[in-house]
Amino acid sequence: MDDLHSEAAGGSAVDQVVAQIRALIDTDGLGVGDKLPTERELCERFAISRNTVREAMRMLKAYGIVDVRPKVGATIVDHRMNRAFDLFSFNVAEVSRQTFDDIQGFRELIETGTALHIFARATPAVIANLRAINQQMVQARSVVEASEFDLQFHTGLIALTGNKSILDIYGIMKPVILRIMQRGKTRRIIEGETYGEHEAILRAIEASDSLGYQYLMRSHLRAGLANFAPPGAGPDAANDQAVPHGQD
C-alpha cells in the first residue's frame, strides 16, 4: 500500500492528532508567534508515529494555522483560522452529499463565472506555472499533499480575477474544500483523471474557448459526486460506487 492509499485508509488517525494539537493550543493558551512542541515531544505526548505528526502539521499549515520551518519547528501564525477551522472542519467520512453540493456549487459559480477575467490575465507564464503545479500534484507523496496542489491550482485561477474578497472566502472554506478533494482519492485518480481534467482546462484557456472552459470546469468540480451516496440511499452506497482503496 503506497502513501496515498495509506493516507486515504488511515486519515482518521491524522484527524485525531489535528484535534489533539488544536486542543493543546487552547488548553496551553498559545497565540500567534508561540511555538508548538517539537515532533518528538508530540509523538511522546500523544503516543503516535512521527509520520502521523508530520501529516497533521501539514494539514494545520494548509489551513493557515501554523507555519513549519526547518530547525525552527511549528509556530502559530493565525489563531483566528483555528476558530474558522471549527466552522469548516469535517472528517472525510462525514462530508455529506449536501455539503458537497453546496461547496462545489459555490465554486462552480465562481470558477466558471469568472472565465473572461481569467482569460484576460492568463499569460503564457501563468499557464506554465499552473502546469507546474499540476505536475507537482502528480508527484505528491500523500493525499493531503496532492490536495494542497489541487487547491493551489484552482486558487491560482481565481487569483487571475484580481478579486481579493473571493480569495479570502476561499481561504475560509479551505479546510472543507481540501476534505472534499481528499475523499475517494487514489493515485490512479490523481495521475489520470484530476491531472487530465486540469490540463484540458488549461488548453481551453489557451484557446480562449469560454464555453469549453465552463463545461470542463463544471464537469471537473462535479466529478467527485460519485463518492457520495444519493439521497435516501444507505450509508454504504457511496462506498460501493467509489474506487476501492489499494487499487491503481
- What confidence tens digit (pLDDT) does each residue in 125-144 have? 999 999 999 999 999 988 88
Residue 183's pLDDT band, with cuts at 50, 70 and 90, is confident
Q: Which amino acid is at 76?
A: I
Question: Which helix (H) or strand (E) covers residue 188, if one does?
Answer: helix 187-188
- State yes or no: pLDDT of 108 exceeds 50: yes
| pLDDT value at residue 185 | 74
Q: Can you read off the three cell numbers belonging to residue 110?
A: 465562481
- State yes or no: pLDDT of 95 exceeds 80: no
Q: Using the structure block, give the residue that is written with the C-alpha cell 493525499.
A: 143
For domain 3-86, give the fold. Arc Repressor Mutant, subunit A (1.10.10)
- E-strand stretches of the chain: 66-69, 73-76
Q: How far apart are CA 14 and CA 57, in angstroms?
A: 9
Give the 3-state secondary structure of residue 221.
Answer: helix
Q: Which amino acid is at 220?
A: H
Domains 3-86 and 96-225 share a fold: no
- What confidence tens digit (pLDDT) does each residue in 199-221 have? 999 999 999 999 999 999 999 99
In this structure, CATH architecture of domain 96-225? Up-down Bundle (1.20)
- The mean pLDDT of 225-240, rounded to a whole number, is 59
- Residues 6 or more apart whose Cβ sits within 8 Å of residue 7: 14, 55, 142, 143, 144, 182
**For the chain, domain boundaries:** 3-86, 96-225
